[in-house]
Structure 1
Amino acid sequence: MTIPAKPAMRPARPEFSSGPCAKRPGWTPENLRNAVLGRSHRSKLGKARLKEAIDRTREVLEVPDDFLIGIVPGSDTGAVEMAMWSMLGARPVQLLAFESFGKDWVTDVTKQLKIAAEVLDAPYGELPDLTKVRKDADLVFTWNGTTSGVRVPNGDFIAADREGIVICDATSAAFAQDLAWDKLDVVTFSWQKALGGEAAHGVLILSPRAVARLETYTPAWPMPKLFRMTSKKDGANKVTLDIFEGATINTPSMLAVEDAVDALKWAASIGGLAEMKRRADANLGVLEAWAQKTGWVSFLAADPAIRSNTSVCLKVIDPVVTSLSEDAQAEFAKKLAALLEKEGVALDVGGYRDAPPGLRIWCGATVDTSDLDALTPWLDWAFASVSAELTAA
């Protein structure tokens, strides 16, 4: 195989990691100069900055006014765990598992909480049978599979008259896809995904139905301090509203908070959620147009209706490569990612370790479409280069 010349253009920003993701265009450390440093996060100024992050989240993400928004420890994982440990056990539980994080929630519910839940699963690249979702059961699922490149197309599979609560891990969907707020009771995400913010903190959003569950149900298991969202008042459980006004459960990084505020300001300045979604869709469109003309690659999510516009997962379909053993295919994909990183044109684009071998390219709104335009010729060059090495061997 003849290796083509290296492309002339390079992405201006080669950060295509699926988390932490690319910073917003124009970001510099100078943006954080107003961070509340050396002060208590419980000071008037510190709480005001935390409240600003909450209020800007509501505005940009278009969260209903009667939903609570809190900043919690442990990234998106911490937010999901808080919800599951605090609310599950009152009803039958169903879980959708079509990528690695959804499978993690299955492990936690069935092995740690020891709830005999029903698991609706599907292989990477597909969705489970959503018609099996019951209205009388609690539901836990990921809206967008960060490691599979698959998303639910909408919330129509959730009954409008549901009896259970719905816990939605939306960490790689928020700020890029439409979330069905009328069907969701708990929504979680982390700043380091579609906002390009810093890690370690999660955002937990509760509907009035979720609040009611917290105040009327007490789990049978001990509740760690970090997960407690209620306290006794006049003999009854009441949600600790301070958490959702900026009084975090543990000490947050005020640098990370300032960075989130900066990202949210940027999102509002470009047109809010509508423009964030448009940018992500345009980025996915670049890869879809390129893949249609490229014989060696395809999407892990074959159905465009369930294809992610953020965590885009690609698989190698070249017959020479697919004829190799599974381990050899994985090694081929690793070499592709390593070569792209060596050239400084695409950083951290290897597929997730538990997913089928391939590449994963973040296409959220903080990535510029022009950088994806510049990337696609490099993908072809890297494939030709690694294939030539394979043939020579």
Structure 2
Amino acid sequence: MTATERPAARPANPHFSSGPCAKRPGWSLKNLEKALVGRSHRSKPGKARLVEAIEKTRTILGVPADYRIGIVPASDTGAVEMALWSLLGARGVDLLAWESFGEGWVTDVVKQLKLKDTRTLKAPYGKLPDLADVNFKNDVVFTWNGTTSGVRVPNGDWIPADREGLTICDATSAAFAQDLPWAKLDVVTFSWQKVLGGEAAHGMLILSPRAVERLESYTPAWPMPKIFRMTKGGKLIEGIFKGETINTPSMICVEDYLDALNWAESIGGLKSLMARANANAAVIAEWVERTPWAAFLAEDVVTRSNTSVCLRIVDPKVAALSDDEQAAFAKKIADMLDKEGVANDIGAYRDAPAGLRIWAGATVEVDDMRALMPWLDWAFAEARAALADA
């Protein structure tokens, strides 16, 4: 095969987007025929569906029995915002940021909530902040897996069991693909459209007993929008965590989430989901090892994501281009693969360094990932040849 020949094999499923992510293998709209459309989510069967989604989430993720799990509005963003607005302000806050979503939480805490007793620990794309520098007398806000950088925390060992503050963890690209140490986490959030490939607009909020204690003992100084309120009369609104959602959820989306959870159970649960993501990430790692023009954005293999895999283009000719020209080059590769119908939406996130971002989560088939790799080489060769001719 010459450098510009199109590979013979194509991925059966070209969906490698980092959100919404690929649907589970074998997914069909027919799987949603039992959705309670036209029924109230507060009806007995509607509430039963919501409770089922909560309890299946608990079982698959291994969430402790005394942690509350709620379905909340506005995806992972809504879940994080509920936690920040409801819990912060009782003590100092350490904010960790090494990619765009972490930066967004810094903005909310410092500029919107206007908290003064804060520390921001930052690192550039590709690296983590110094986790040893975190002050756990403070509350700590961080992403487990940086979706836009492909950098994750390696484990929970850096979080002490005897911490004084709460740990508030945005785990939207980690839940169902990475091992979350629940005893080290007081608030965990994620959305359905990531590792399980569910539909958008709904978030999950998981609270430890320590987080509940904070909610019931502390009242923030600022007005609390209705959509964020989790207490009434100084007590947790338990209904939120028993299927009584704050606002109206889409019962079609709920049915789709249940379908994804049932699939996860059918293949062996969390360990199998993690194994599938690891296998997909390993395919990319093997390809990068033998590919001179590409490298991981994550510099340390220990902190490299197995879901949102971010790549840099390190070919000397491309690296010598301006930032805007490098971004245009990477976009050209992504656009060619999209046009060919072999990989949709794999450009780097808009705030991230120029490159590619390939979703490797559990709903992606490893054979499709293997089939994609020669296409990356083809598209690079085509774009590189055009660059040489310019």
Pick the TM interval, shorter chain. Answer: over 0.9
Match of 2:91 in 1: 91
Match of 1:42 in 2: 42
Show CA shifts across 1:24-67 (max 9, x none).
00000000011011111000010000001001100111111110
In structure 1, which of residues 340, 354, 377 is the aligned counterpart of residue 374 of structure 2? Answer: 377
Equivalent-residue separation in structure 2 for 1:270 and 1:238 (angstroms): 39
Counterpart of 1:337, as a letter, is A
1:285 maps onto 2:286 in alignment: no
Counterpart of 1:27, as a letter, is W
In structure 1, which of residues 382, 387, 391 is the aligned counterpart of residue 388 of structure 2? Answer: 391
Show CA shifts across 1:322-345 (max 9, x none).
011111101000101000000000
Show CA shifts across 1:65-93 (max 9, x none).
11000000010000000000000000000
Show CA shifts across 1:256-295 (max 9, x none).
0000000000001100000000000000000000111100
1:322 maps onto 2:319 in alignment: yes
Give runs of aligned pairs for residues 107-126 of structure 1, distance below 5 A: 107-116=107-116, 117-126=118-127
Match of 1:16 in 2: 16
Match of 1:75 in 2: 75
Match of 2:25 in 1: 25
Counterpart of 1:188, as a letter, is T
Counterpart of 2:40, as a letter, is S
Matched position secondary structure for 2:379 = helix
Match of 1:363 in 2: 360
Counterpart of 2:315, as a letter, is D
1:298 maps onto 2:295 in alignment: yes
Deviation at 1:3, TM superposition (A): 3.7
Match of 2:226 in 1: 225
Number of aligned residues: 388
Matched position secondary structure for 1:14 = coil
Kept after mapping to 2: 8 A contact 1:3/1:388: no
Match of 2:137 in 1: 136
Identity of aligned residues (%): 68
Equivalent-residue separation in structure 2 for 1:148 and 1:115 (angstroms): 27
Show CA shifts across 1:172-206 (max 9, x none).
00000001111100000000000100000000000
Equivalent-residue separation in structure 1 for 2:73 and 2:159 (angstroms): 29
Deviation at 1:120, TM superposition (A): 0.3
Structure 1 runs of 4+ aligned residues shifted over 4 Å read none
Match of 1:169 in 2: 170
Superposed CA RMSD: 0.6
Equivalent-residue separation in structure 2 for 1:365 and 1:7 (angstroms): 25
Equivalent-residue separation in structure 1 for 2:108 and 2:31 (angstroms): 38
Show CA shifts across 1:120-143 (max 9, x none).
000000000000111210000000
Kept after mapping to 2: 8 A contact 1:60/1:273: yes
Relative to the length of structure 1, the TM-score reads: 0.98
Counterpart of 1:133, as a letter, is V
Unaligned runs of 5+ residues in structure 2 are none
Match of 2:104 in 1: 104
1:336 maps onto 2:327 in alignment: no
Counterpart of 1:244, as a letter, is F
Equivalent-residue separation in structure 2 for 1:182 and 1:63 (angstroms): 10
Kept after mapping to 2: 8 A contact 1:176/1:309: yes
Deviation at 1:4, TM superposition (A): 2.6
Counterpart of 2:371, as a letter, is A
Equivalent-residue separation in structure 2 for 1:206 and 1:78 (angstroms): 15
Matched position secondary structure for 1:168 = strand
Counterpart of 2:350, as a letter, is R
1:57 maps onto 2:88 in alignment: no
Counterpart of 2:62, as a letter, is E
Counterpart of 1:299, as a letter, is F
Counterpart of 2:185, as a letter, is L
Counterpart of 2:91, as a letter, is R
Equivalent-residue separation in structure 2 for 1:171 and 1:259 (angstroms): 17
Equivalent-residue separation in structure 2 for 1:195 and 1:372 (angstroms): 17
Equivalent-residue separation in structure 1 for 2:242 and 2:324 (angstroms): 50
1:263 maps onto 2:264 in alignment: no
Equivalent-residue separation in structure 1 for 2:257 and 2:327 (angstroms): 36
Kept after mapping to 2: 8 A contact 1:73/1:249: yes
Equivalent-residue separation in structure 2 for 1:4 and 1:322 (angstroms): 21
Equivalent-residue separation in structure 2 for 1:262 and 1:377 (angstroms): 33
Match of 1:209 in 2: 210
Matched position secondary structure for 2:164 = coil
Match of 1:276 in 2: 273
Relative to the length of structure 2, the TM-score reads: 0.99
Match of 2:190 in 1: 189
Equivalent-residue separation in structure 1 for 2:381 and 2:64 (angstroms): 50
